[in-house]
Structures are given as structure tokens and as C-alpha cells.
Amino acid sequence: MGTIDEMYLENLDEWVNDENQIVTFKKLSLALKVHVNKAKQMLYSFVQHQRNNKDNDHLFVTYFVAGLSHPVVGVKSLKCMVVPEENIEAFKSTLSVVTSSHIYSVGRSKVKDDNKLYLADYDSIHTDSTTNTDIFKFSSIKYPKAKLRSDAEVESQKRYRTEPTTSKQVNGTSKQNGENGHISQKPKQNGENSNVSQKPAEKPQKKGGIAGMFANQAKKTKSPEKDPKEVKEEHSKDSKMNTKESSNNKGGVMAFFSKQTAKANEKPSEPVKKDKLVKSEPEDKQETIKKEPSPAKRQVPDKGKGKRSKSGQDSDDDSQKKRRRIKAVLIDSSSEEEMDYESPIPSPVREQSPAPESPVPKELEKESPEKDSPEKTTSTNIGERKRKRRRKLVPKTFMDDEGYMVTEKVWESESTDASETEPPPPKKPQEKLTKQQSPQKKKASPKKKSPPSAGSRKQAALTNFFKKK
Amino acid sequence: MLFNPEKDTKNVGKLLTEPTESSDADYVRTDCKYEDLSERFRVKSKNFTRQYAHLYAERLWSMRDKVVDAAKTKPSILKELSEEHNLMPQPIKSKYTDGNDKLILEDELQRILLIGKLNIQTSVTGVIVALYGVEPDDNRGKFHVEDFCYQQLPEQIPRPMLEHDRFIALISGLEIGGKDEKSFPIQLMVDMVTGQVGDIDQQKSSSSIVRVIVAGNSLSEDTQDKESLQKAKYLTKKSEAASVEAVKTLDDVFFQLSGSVDVDVMAGEYDPTNFTIPQQPLHKCMFAQASRFPTFKTVTNPYDCHVEGVRVLGTSGQPVINIMRYSELEDPVDILDKCITWGHIAPTAPDSLGCYPFYKEDPFIITKCPHIFFCGNQSSFGSKIHKGPNGQEILLVSVPKFCQTATCVLVNLKTLDCHPMEFNSQFSQPMETESPEVDK
């Protein structure tokens, strides 16, 4: 008991005097996991201790006083009142019988309205998006009948409620998540937040899925850290700042969004880095090009896996997803033409990835059409299509007029290649050159080849896609 | 009374001491016998194509026998008369605020102007009544009422003798989301009922509260965002209904309550359910947290149930408020009293009070005599015992709006005693709430 005494006095001292919190008996009870009545006594003893031993007369103490009023028209009412210390006697004098009198809260600053008191223990009572069930544990009244339905039951309920609209989209994205970790997710979030033009087009479609992702993520990240003590500590520390936010965190659809915002606040660090990385691309292409393949390659096989396994299972579902993606992509690319340097960031990482391996999908395509996998062909085509537009910054080797081999880094030409609508002068000659010469030419040529060939295949494949459907 | 002063005050102040083990009071709330009798208020088929005439006809026919029964107990002349004139008990009409109001008696075939003894200002449309009087030859078309009577109050099943005090708490008009919302008093009320605040004996008393009935208007009228209905969909697509936040707060309140006591939530005028009475229960989906407890229940308005063998009947207040508008009756308790006398929970429906067009039934007729009859969302607390002709005793309770009075009502099922419980804090104007009390 002695050690406990020390502890709670110290705790209270810290909360009240150092952190200038208002500590209510409920907050104390939840924080120290003691019976509410004991918490009330602890507050009392803390106040005594402060006043007698430390000469601290600056504590503002509120009391809970209840009692029967004097009869008004024959009716006695039970009055329950929280009053500041100096008003206790005045209030008691209005009562015929006092039935309760104990400390409600202790704080250093004066409480001017009850909202402050209401918020003082709000955070202890409300953890995350739910209400802390500990309040029942330390209350003086137990009701055995009030048993929470099992978590599993509730979970299933929740799932049932939230998923109907989102499940499909979530499936698509979350599977990728599972495989790629956060890689694919972050860029997307990035794009959403930074790319304004994309937003209207993407949001309506993906909202559910993204919300789902955030929900999942939130669950993932929140549950492990949920060491009650830590949480409580945190809560009590930044209670004031949190009050508003946590008031929002109460589950349902809103929870997604509040969590999302919270997440967004935490996240930026990483995405931003990536942002910078990719943004710098245009300037020092060589470096980035060298760098890029690695994450890209990593992704490619993953994607392939995912597709293959999925297409086997439920092609219907899959194709739906794919169609959606196509749409998004189209919008992407068109917006990119305008935004160019900002928006391509997320997509190149993904879409360019097939580039180094382009020969392989090509072959696959040629061989497989009869076999099955319409999705496969279409998807690679889509990829290529994009690839073609984004293909830039590639060093090229070609024959000049005099018949010499010349290797040049021709980023300008490639970037204009991306947007066929406004082809700058330098580009055209090069393209022609590559077309003519690539058949005869050597090592570097495969790369050269791919853009034009991709373009030609693109259309065929698109029609193909629709035929299959 | 909730507290026996001698017994319950000796421990007051015990919590103003150093921490002791003995202070860890642990009371177990007792489960009570409970039965929901509101089945008749559940609308099963939803057919809104019917006229309301059926409702009056049904009311007339099903209450006629009872009224005739009652008439038998009156002087025999009445009986004669009702035979002579072949008069049927019929609805009466009155309008509010006008001395020129006329009462009209109406049955399936005809209507006739009433003059005489029947008080126009305390009568409302839809009441079934038997009249005694004459239609004088020199004043044709007018019926001079000399006496009248209403349905005979059904027999009352005696209340069981309870060994211990058992309380139900009646709360109405939390009106969360409104400008009057009283967050702290609501929390204090929750803490009181759930045994957080109070001294040990107070908590013991609180543990004998076996049921909390929330009589409507848990959400404020302000949460009904009618503007959004007029705006184009694409403008409001991203905006959130005002009630979302409020419902979450409410869910939290109910969660805290139902973790410690049985809670019945009745629908009310401003609550998100159908507007016409009988209002159907609020959907549990709204209360994701609270509905995790088996103790949490959403019920109809009106609501009828047995708690520990005591029959409790009540509404969220619309019928009473409506009667208030259409008569000169002001005190909700008087109106409740009238309703019992008239034998009908909501006589003004469907005339001036929205009501489902029932066919072949009128669920609002009082066919079983309750022990407690309450109405929510009134301006003040009030209670009264209505004594029936055959020894029936009905406690009438007007439950005040919490958002205005911060008051809920405790009813002792053992004694039918009833008293308000008020929650507040005194910070801004320390003396304001006290002075009137001191005078009295």
C-alpha cells in the first residue's frame, strides 16, 4: 500500500502540477485501474498532501454533492451538483439531506464551465474510436446481464456493414498490398493528396477501396501499439490536443476519414521522400533510370504473380477491376500531359517497370492468345501503352547521316514522344531514324524498338480486348 | 423515497478520507422481470392508401360497448335516453383558442351541434363519449347535453408486492446535437445511474434502478437538416448529415448506460424514424456500440411494458403536446389524466396528430389499465395518482426535457413514489440556481 501511495501521489503531482491537467476521479480510476471510490479518496488525500505538506494553495477542487432539496410544492427532488470548493456549503444549505459529497476533480486552473470538466476525462473514457469498457470494471455497480457481445460477432457485424460497397475494390488493392507491402499504396495516396487534377476522376471510384485500405492499415498499426498503459499515458499527456480529434473517432464511416487524416499526418515523411526522388527525375535522368529498374523489377514479378493467381480464380471479378484500372489510367495519362512533371511520379514506378523486360511480354503475347488469359494480354498492352507515353530519358544509339554510330541521351525527344499531340521538332527525325535503323541494329536497339512497336500493338490489343468481352 | 435519510447519510463524506479498501463498494444490479407489450404498436404492413375514417369507425365500435357499460352505471335516465334517441357514443370536435368553438357529435351517419354541460375547452377531437340530453323542439339541430360519460377504465391487475425498492428512470429530450445540449449533466446523469459518482450509499441506491426508459427526442431537432433536401445532390454529396456526430455521442451515452443497466430507447418526434405514431423503434445500426450490449433496446413510441409486474405505458409526448394545442388544458399531468378518462392514448390522432391509417384496429385505445402512464418531453416535471372508479391507481408522470431542465424522473415501482433527479454544475453563476430554492 505504501508504494501505491507514493505512486499515485507522484502521478497526480505530475499531472496536476506539471502538466496542468484537470484530473477527475474517473480519469484517475481508469489511469491507475482502481475503484472509482478509491480514486475519489486518492484525490482527497492528494489535496490534503499538497495543502499541508507542500503549501500548495493553488489547487482548484470541485466537489460532487447530492442531496434532497427542500420540498417544492410537496416534491423533493434529488439534486446532483458539481460545485467548486467554495460553494459547497452554500449549496449544502439548500438541501434538506445531503446524500453524497466527494471530490470530483482536481486541477490547477480554475474551471469556468462544465464543458472543461466534461472534456477532462473524455479521453480516458474514449479510447480510439470506442468507449473504454474499463469504466464498467471500476464502477461501484455491476450488472452481470450486460455482457458485451463477443468481438468476433461484432467484427462480423461491422464487416457486413462496411464491406458490401467496398469489398471488390478492396480486394484488388489489398491483395497488392499484401504482396508489395506498402509500395503500391503509398504512391497512390501520394497521387491523391498531391495531384489535384486526378482527384475528381479517381475519388468517386476508389473511395471505398481507399477507405478500406486505411481502415485496414489503421487496424494493423493501431492494434500492436495498444499497450494500455502507454495509451493511457499518451492520452493523459496530450489530452487537450486530442480531445477534439478523439471525439470524432467513434467508428462508422467517419472513423475511416478521421483515421485517414490522422494517418495522413503521420505518413508524409516517406511519401515526400519518394516525391522528391521522382521529381528530380527529369533533371538527372540517368541516375534515376539506373535506380528505377530495381524497385520496378521487384514489382513486376509480384504483379505477375498476383494476376496469374487471380485470373485463375475469378476472371470475372478480375476483369472488372481491370476495366476500372484502364479508366483510371486513361485519365491519368491525359492529366499527365498537362501536369507532366508532377503526376507521372506514382505511375512510372509501376508502369515503366515492364519496360526493361518488354521482350518477354511480347513473346508471351504472341504465343499465348489462343491459350487463355485475355486479361494478361490486355493488361500488358495497357502497360505498354502507358509505357510508350512515358518513355523518356533514354540514351539512344543511331546512325547519323554519314553512317556513323552515335550514342546520345535524347531525353527531350523521348518526353515529347510521350505526348504525341505536341511533338517538338527534334523528336521526329529521331523516331524515323530509329524505325528505319532498328531492324539492322544491335545491342541498344531493343529498347529503341519498344516504343513504336508498342504503339502499333496497342490498338490491336485494345480491339482484342473488346472482342474477348 | 429514494433515500432513507437516517440510514443513508451516515457514510456521507467517507470518501473524503485517505484511501481505504472498504470504500470499494461493489453492488450488483438486480435483473428485473420484464416483458415488452408493445407488439400492437408495431406496424407490420405499410399501407398508406387508406382513409382515416376506418380508424374513427373502429374506435367507435370497439369503445362503444365499454361506453355503454359505463353508461349503465349512470342514472337510469341516461340509459333510457340512449335507447330512445338511439344515440351512439361519438367523437367530439373542438378548436383551440376560440370562444366560438363548437362541439359536434358525430357518428357514422350524422352529426349534431352540442351545447350544454360538456366543456368545450377541455374536449378534443376523437374522443368517444356517451351523451345524455335533449334536442329541444324549439331549437332543432342542437343537442343540449345534460350528462356525459366516457369509457370505463379497464380493470387493473394489482401490482405485485415488491420486497425491495426498485426504480425505473425516465429520461426524455436529451436533444443531443442541439444548442441546448447538456453534455456534462448528461454525463453526470449517466455516472449517477451507473454508480460512478456519489457516496457509497448513494451508489447502493443507484443500483436499485432496474431500467432506464429514454422517452424520445434523444436527438435535437437541429440535427434534422432540411436544407440538404432542397439542395442538389451533388452539392451535398460530400457534406455530412448533422446527425452523424450527434448519433455518435448518443451511442456513447447509451453505451455507458447499457453497460450497467437495461435501457429502452423510445423514438420521439425528432428522432430519425417515421414521424407518424406509432413510431417504430430506431434502428440499432445507429448505435454500433450500445447495441453490443444485450441490455440495450430500441422500442416503439408509444411504449408499453411490464417491469417487475408493473405495467408501464407511455409516449414521447406528441399526443399530450397536441392536445395541449387543441384545448385549454395546459398541465401535461391533467392531459394524461384526461387521456386515462377518455380511455385513449392519442385521441387527436389522426385529426391533428400524424398517425398510421390503421384498419380494423386502434392500438391507442387503453384496453389494459397501466400502473404508470408517462409522457416525455414536457416543459416541467409533474406527477399525480389517478384513481379509477374501481380502485385503479395510475401514476401519471410528466417527464421534463433533459435539455432544458437537466432532470430525469425516478419512479419507485414498489410504492409508485416518483421524484425528479436534477443534474447540474455551478460554475458561471454560483448563486443563481440556489436562490429560488432557499426561498422555498
The DSSP line for A405-459 is: EEEEE-HHHHHHHH-TTS--TTHHHHHHHHHHHTTT--TTHHHHHHHHHHHHHHH
Question: Which chain A residue lies closest to B293 (C-alpha atoms)?
Answer: A148
Q: Where are the beta strands (DSSP E) in B82-219?
A: 103-106, 111-116, 130-134, 142-149, 167-171, 209-215
Q: What is the ipTM of this complex?
A: 0.77
Query: Residues A296, A358: one domain?
Result: yes
Nearest CA-CA distance, residue A167 and chain B, Å: 20
Structure confidence at residue B428 (pLDDT): 56
Residue among A80, A146, A248 whose CB faces B259 most closely: A146
Asked whether the bond before B350 is cis by omega within 30 degrees of 0, the reply is: yes
Q: Which of A63-72, B110-119, B315-324, B330-339 has the lowest mean pLDDT?
A: B110-119
Nearest CA-CA distance, residue B388 and chain A, Å: 23
Q: How far apart are CA A317 and CA A313, in angstroms?
A: 9
Per-state percent for chain B, helix, strand, coil, to nearest 5 = 30, 25, 45
DSSP class of B391: S
Closest CA to A389 of A323, A328, A430, A450: A450
Structure confidence at residue A86 (pLDDT): 83
Residue among B24, B421, B434 whose CB faces A94 most closely: B434
B234 contacts chain A (CB < 8 A): no
Q: How far apart are CA A397 and CA A159, in angstroms?
A: 57
In the predicted structure, residue B96 carries a pLDDT above the cut 50: no
For residue A148, being part of any structural domain is answered with no
Interacting residues of B169 by C-beta distance below 8 A, sequence separation 6+? B193, B209, B211, B212, B213, B408, B409, B410, B411, B421
pLDDT tens for residues A136-194?
Answer: 777 888 888 877 776 656 555 555 444 443 333 333 333 343 344 333 333 333 433 43
CB-CB under 8 Å, B256 with A100: no
Structure confidence at residue B175 (pLDDT): 83
Residue with cell 432539496: A69
pLDDT tens for residues A285-307?
Answer: 444 344 444 443 444 444 434 44
Query: Residues A98, A29: one domain?
Result: yes
Burial grade of B244 (CB within 10 A; 0-12, 13-18, 19 or more): middle
Nearest CA-CA distance, residue B246 and chain A, Å: 10
**Domain B53-149, classified CATH 3.40.50.300, yes or no:** no
pLDDT tens for residues A317-362?
Answer: 444 444 555 444 444 444 444 444 443 334 433 444 344 444 444 4
Kind of pairing between the strands at A395-399 and B407-412: unpaired
The amino acid sitting at B415 is T
Nearest CA-CA distance, residue A161 and chain B, Å: 9
Nearest CA-CA distance, residue B299 and chain A, Å: 18
pLDDT band at A23 (very low <50, low <70, confident <90, very high): confident
| C-alpha separations of B13 from A57, A100, B202 in Å | 22, 7, 11
Q: What are phi and psi of A428, to 5 degrees?
A: -60, -50
Residue among B18, B198, B407 whose CB faces A45 most closely: B18
Structure confidence at residue B21 (pLDDT): 66
CB-CB under 8 Å, B410 with A75: no
CB B319 within 8 A of CB B120: no
Enumerate residues 31 to 50 of chain B having a beta carbon within 8 A of any beta carbon in chain A.
31
Query: Residues A339, A459: one domain?
Result: yes
CB-CB under 8 Å, B8 with A99: yes
Q: What are phi and psi of A15, to 5 degrees?
A: -65, -45
Query: Which of A1, A45, A52, A78 would best serve as a mutation to test chain B binding (most B beta carbons within 10 A)?
Result: A78
- B-chain residues near A152 (CB < 8 A): none
Return the SS3 of A126: strand
In the predicted structure, residue A364 carries a pLDDT above the cut 80: no
**Other C-beta atoms within 10 Å of B98: how many?**
10
- B-chain residues near A158 (CB < 8 A): 288
CB-CB under 8 Å, A130 with B19: no
Residue A113 belongs to domain with CATH number? 3.90.1030.20
CB A377 within 8 A of CB A369: yes
- A-chain residues near B23 (CB < 8 A): 35, 37-38, 40-41
DSSP B335-380: HHHHHHHHTBS-TTTTTTS-B---SS--TTB--S--SEEEEEEESS
Size of interface A-B (CB pairs under 8 A): 249
CB B184 within 8 A of CB B425: yes
pLDDT band at A50 (very low <50, low <70, confident <90, very high): confident
Residue among B18, B187, B289 whose CB faces A118 most closely: B187
Nearest CA-CA distance, residue A87 and chain B, Å: 7
CB B145 within 8 A of CB B213: no
**CA-only gyration radius of chain B, Å:** 24
Query: Residues A445, A306: one domain?
Result: yes
Query: Residues A132, A172: one domain?
Result: no
Mean pLDDT of all residues belonging to chain A: 57
pLDDT tens for residues B35-61?
Answer: 888 888 888 777 777 777 777 777 777
Residue B185 in grid coordinates? 449533466
Residue among B5, B260, B438 whose CB faces A146 most closely: B260
pLDDT band at B143 (very low <50, low <70, confident <90, very high): confident
pLDDT band at B77 (very low <50, low <70, confident <90, very high): very low
CB-CB under 8 Å, A100 with B198: yes
Query: Residues A85, A101: one domain?
Result: yes
Residue with cell 487463355: A372
Q: Residue ranges per domain, chain B?
A: 29-43+156-224+241-423, 53-149
CB-CB under 8 Å, A78 with B197: no
For residue A424, being part of any structural domain is answered with yes
Q: How far apart are CA A391 and CA A348, in angstroms?
A: 9
Q: Examine the fold and report which residue of A209, A239, A274 is the final residue of a domain before the chain moves on.
A: A274
Structure confidence at residue B59 (pLDDT): 74
CB-CB under 8 Å, A45 with B5: no
Residue among A26, A37, A158 whose CB faces B15 most closely: A37
Return the H-helix or E-strand segment holding A334: helix A315-339
Average confidence (pLDDT) over A188-201: 39
Q: How far apart are CA B318 and CA B375, in angstroms?
A: 8
Structure confidence at residue A335 (pLDDT): 41
Return the SS3 of A85: helix
Domains of chain A: total: 3
| CA A345 to mean position of chain CA atoms | 19
| C-alpha separations of A390 from A274, A360, A379, B194 in Å | 18, 19, 16, 65
Question: Which chain B residue lies closest to A40 (C-alpha atoms)?
Answer: B15
Nearest CA-CA distance, residue A20 and chain B, Å: 19
CB A370 within 8 A of CB A378: no
CB A147 within 8 A of CB A133: no
pLDDT band at B2 (very low <50, low <70, confident <90, very high): low
**CA-only gyration radius of chain A, Å:** 33
Enumerate residues 202 to 231 of chain B having a beta carbon within 8 A of any beta carbon in chain A.
202-203, 205-207
For chain B, give the longest Cα–Cα distance. Answer: 88
Q: What are phi and psi of A65, to 5 degrees?
A: -125, 135
What residues are paired with B394 via a beta bridge?
B386
Q: How far apart are CA A387 and CA A391, in angstroms?
A: 6
Residue A153 in grid coordinates? 460477432
Nearest CA-CA distance, residue A319 and chain B, Å: 29
Mean pLDDT of all residues belonging to chain B: 76
pLDDT tens for residues A231-276?
Answer: 444 444 444 444 444 444 444 444 455 444 444 444 444 444 444 4
Query: Residues A179, A129: one domain?
Result: no
CB-CB under 8 Å, B419 with A76: yes
CB-CB under 8 Å, B200 with A140: yes
Q: Which range marks the domain in which residue A44 is found?
A: 2-137
Structure confidence at residue B41 (pLDDT): 84
- B-chain residues near A126 (CB < 8 A): 252
B432 contacts chain A (CB < 8 A): no
pLDDT tens for residues B253-300?
Answer: 888 888 888 889 998 888 888 888 888 888 888 888 888 888 888 898
Q: How far apart are CA B348 and CA A9, in angstroms?
A: 63
Sign of CA dihedral B89, B95, B97, B102: negative
pLDDT band at A134 (very low <50, low <70, confident <90, very high): confident
Query: Residues A164, A260: one domain?
Result: yes
CB B394 within 8 A of CB B371: yes
CB-CB under 8 Å, A142 with B260: yes
- A-chain residues near B188 (CB < 8 A): 80, 82
Query: Residues A313, A243: one domain?
Result: no
Fold type of domain B29-43+156-224+241-423? Purple Acid Phosphatase; chain A, domain 2 (3.60.21)
Average confidence (pLDDT) over A388-409: 68
Q: Examine the fold and report which residue of A243, A274, A305 is the final residue of a domain before the chain moves on.
A: A274
Q: Examine the fold and report which residue of A209, A242, A274 is the final residue of a domain before the chain moves on.
A: A274
Query: Which of B191, B192, B432 would best serve as a mutation to test chain A binding (most A beta carbons within 10 A)?
Result: B191
